[in-house]
């Protein structure tokens, strides 16, 4: 495919292969953009921002509505593209399309709800006879720097609110998975979005990301990715607004009174979806003594039967990781834990980019398998003496994105909600759950700001204060 800038689909002599991670075969290419392409794209978006600022909310809403309809009509094609370039199984690819269409629809809803407020200025000294109200206006140009693991929906979470808020948007998709973002651009233009209001450039993240950060005409950066890269972007962004959706190593606390079957079901569902390549994937289980052994017995056969393979085969449950290097790292961390006292109960074998889902017991908090972000199909179980120790272990991390607990005790559930340092907290389910309308974001090194169309629009618009002075 070509990239899109200044209202045109553009190619370059230098190309980047788009690879199916299962077999390592290239099935498409995209241009390798340069910093000059960033400048050219922003040049075009300046005019697009003016057009979007003048566009009525009703029209922005209608464009997004049409785009959502087109996405649902193309669910099979879009889902196959997602699965082929990213590695998630076909069912997960099609589910992502459905979610992305919903995200665009939610953005359309919010385009009609951007409001200010009236202030009682006569409540302040000297305010008698004056009328005050606020207006929310677009920031101008929004840069969306997106990750590989949800190459359509996480683009939609940035592009939909940007358009709804009356902005132009520059998309920089992950180098491994650019096709889904380019297809979304096609859909939006077909739905009626002015061509000058959107750009999508493909290429290496380092140089392009730096150019985005340094261009003062871009007023907002929304980034999803690693904490390390997020810190670099924040350091280079200057006075730009930033939203950072960063990493995690999400814990699941399991207390003695938990429903074993529900815990096991949730662990498989939230620990191995997308081969564990989800920032809120269940990575750490912290179990108290009365349930610990029974939980392992319940989990082991379920995990062992959850085998990985070709993501395009209909019966595959878990696909490959996006890169073989990532699979090698995951297998290394699993082996490292097993060699240092953890028990590997099943899985962990690697072939190419495929790692079989793994379950480990006796995982120590100091092991990389526990304290860093694994981003792979493995779950480690750690024993805690009681809820006090469980909460302490859950918080013993620089991250704080999602966490879960299983308990029938209301007091314990509320204590978990109050004391665990996480932006999203789930009671009687695993940490990997998100409704696309909710405020989603982390604490500590897991990020800054919130996503979800309503909340993203708040950060992609600015407040103007208007005062009418009476006679």
State the Cα–Cα distance between residues 86 and 66, nearest whole angstrom: 26
Average pLDDT of span 140-149:
98
d(CA 352, CA 324): 6
Residue of 196, 212, 191 whose CA lies nearest to 142: 212
Structure tokens at 249: 């190593």
Residue with the two structure tokens 């096991």 = 264
Mean pLDDT calculated for residue range 92-120? 97
Average pLDDT over residues 153-182: 98
**Mean pLDDT to the nearest integer, 184-191:** 98
Number of C-beta neighbours around residue 273 at 10 A: 22
- Its pTM stands at 0.96
Active site residue 61: no
User: Given a cut of 80, is residue 185 above it in pLDDT?
Assistant: yes
In this predicted structure, what is the pLDDT of residue 227? 94
Q: Rounded distance, CA 48 to CA 461, Å? A: 16
Range 192-196 average pLDDT: 98
CA 429 – CA 449 distance, rounded (Å): 24
Q: Could you say which of 245, 373, 451, 458 is catalytic?
A: 245
| Tokens 């590695």 belong to residue | 87
The helix/strand/coil state of 326 is helix
Residue range 244-299, pLDDT digits in tens: 999 999 999 999 999 999 999 999 999 999 999 999 999 999 999 999 999 999 99
Give CA torsion, residues 359, 363, 366, 367, to 10 deg. Answer: -40
Mean pLDDT of all residues in 450-455:
98
**Which residues are bridge partners to 285 per DSSP?**
252, 381
pLDDT at 129: 93
pLDDT(140) > 80:
yes
Alpha carbon distance 332, 311 (integer Å): 23
Q: Angle at the Cα of 100 (from 354 to 95), degrees rounded to 5?
A: 50
Distance CA 69, CA 90 (A): 20
Per the listing, tokens 């790692």 go with: 355
Catalytic-residue membership of 245: yes
Q: Which one of the listed residues 213, 279, 282, 346 is annotated catalytic?
A: 279
H or E element that contains 338: helix 324-339
| Predicted pLDDT at 425 | 98
Which two three-digit tokens encode residue 312?
């395009």
- DSSP, collapsed to helix, strand or coil, labels residue 347 as coil
Q: Where are the beta strands (DSSP E) in 398-456?
A: 402-406, 424-427, 447-448
Cβ–Cβ < 8 Å for 298, 359: no
pLDDT reported for residue 459: 95
324 membership: H or E segment, kind and range: helix 324-339
Q: Per residue in 4-41, pLDDT tens?
A: 999 999 999 999 999 999 999 999 999 999 999 999 99
Per-residue confidence band for 471, with pLDDT thresholds at 50, 70 and 90: confident
Supply the pLDDT for residue 347: 97
In angstroms, how far is the first alpha carbon of the chain from the final one? 62
H/E segment holding residue 138: strand 130-138
Compute the mean pLDDT over every residue in the chain, rounded to the nearest whole number.
97
| Tokens 């056969």 belong to residue | 301
d(Cα 450, Cα 88) in Å, to the nearest integer? 26
Q: Span 372-385, mean pLDDT?
A: 98
Can you give the pLDDT at residue 81?
98
pLDDT digits (tens, 9 = 90+) for 117-137: 999 999 999 999 999 999 999
3-state secondary structure of 234: helix
- pLDDT at residue 327 in the model: 98
Q: C-alpha distances in angstroms, 81 versus 13, 32, 76, 324, 468? A: 24, 20, 9, 19, 54
Give the model's pLDDT for residue 470: 85
How large is the average pLDDT for residues 228-235? 95
Q: Give the C-alpha separation, 173 to 202, whole Å.
A: 7
Residue 83 is predicted with a pLDDT of 98
Residues 53-86 pLDDT 10s:
999 999 999 999 999 999 999 999 999 999 999 9
Mind listing the domains of the chain with CATH numbers?
Answer: 3-246+444-469 (3.40.605.10), 251-427 (3.40.309.10)
Token digits of residue 70: 């087109």
């Amino acid at each position: 495919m070509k990239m899109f800038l200044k209202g045109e689909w553009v190619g370059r002599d230098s190309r980047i292969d788009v690879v199916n991670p299962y077999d390592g075969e290239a099935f498409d290419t995209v241009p390798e953009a340069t910093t000059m392409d960033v400048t050219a794209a922003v040049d075009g978006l300046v005019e697009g921002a003016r057009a979007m600022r003048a566009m009525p909310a009703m029209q922005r809403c209608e464009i997004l509505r049409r785009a959502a309809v087109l996405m649902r009509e193309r669910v099979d094609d879009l889902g196959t593209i997602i699965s082929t370039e990213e590695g998630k199984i076909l069912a997960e690819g099609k589910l992502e399309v459905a979610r992305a269409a919903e995200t665009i629809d939610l953005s359309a809803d919010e385009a009609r709800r951007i409001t200010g407020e009236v202030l009682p200025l006569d409540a302040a000294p000297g305010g008698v006879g004056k009328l005050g109200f606020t207006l929310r206006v677009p920031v101008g140009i929004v840069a969306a720097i997106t990750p590989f693991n949800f190459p359509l929906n996480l683009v939609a979470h940035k592009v939909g609110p940007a358009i709804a808020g009356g902005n132009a948007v520059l998309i920089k998709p992950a180098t491994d998975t650019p096709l889904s973002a380019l297809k979304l651009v096609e859909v939006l233009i077909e739905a009626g979005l002015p061509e000058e209001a959107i750009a999508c450039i493909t290429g290496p993240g380092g140089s392009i990301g730096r150019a985005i950060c340094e261009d003062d005409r871009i007023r907002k950066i929304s980034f999803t990715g690693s904490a390390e890269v997020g810190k670099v972007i924040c350091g280079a962004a200057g006075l730009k607004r930033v939203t950072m959706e960063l990493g995690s190593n999400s814990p699941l606390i399991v207390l003695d009174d938990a429903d074993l079957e529900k815990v096991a079901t949730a662990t498989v569902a939230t620990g191995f979806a997308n081969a564990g390549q989800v920032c809120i994937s269940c990575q750490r289980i912290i179990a108290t003594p009365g349930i610990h052994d029974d939980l392992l017995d319940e989990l082991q056969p379920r995990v062992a039967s959850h085998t990985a393979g070709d993501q395009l085969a209909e019966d595959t449950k878990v696909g490959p990781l996006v890169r073989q290097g990532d699979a090698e790292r995951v297998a290394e961390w699993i082996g490292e834990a097993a060699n240092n006292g953890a028990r590997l109960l099943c899985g962990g074998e690697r072939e190419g980019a495929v790692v079989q889902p793994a379950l480990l017991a006796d995982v120590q908090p100091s092991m990389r398998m526990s304290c860093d972000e694994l981003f792979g199909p493995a779950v480690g179980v750690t024993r805690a003496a009681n809820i006090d120790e469980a909460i302490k272990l859950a918080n013993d991390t620089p991250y704080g994105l999602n966490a879960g607990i299983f308990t029938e005790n209301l007091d314990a559930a509320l204590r978990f909600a109050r004391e665990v340092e996480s932006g999203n907290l789930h009671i009687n389910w695993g940490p990997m759950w998100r409704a696309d309308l909710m405020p989603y974001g982390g604490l500590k090194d897991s990020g800054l700001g919130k996503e979800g169309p309503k909340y993203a629009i708040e950060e992609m618009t600015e407040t103007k204060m208007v005062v009418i002075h009476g006679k």
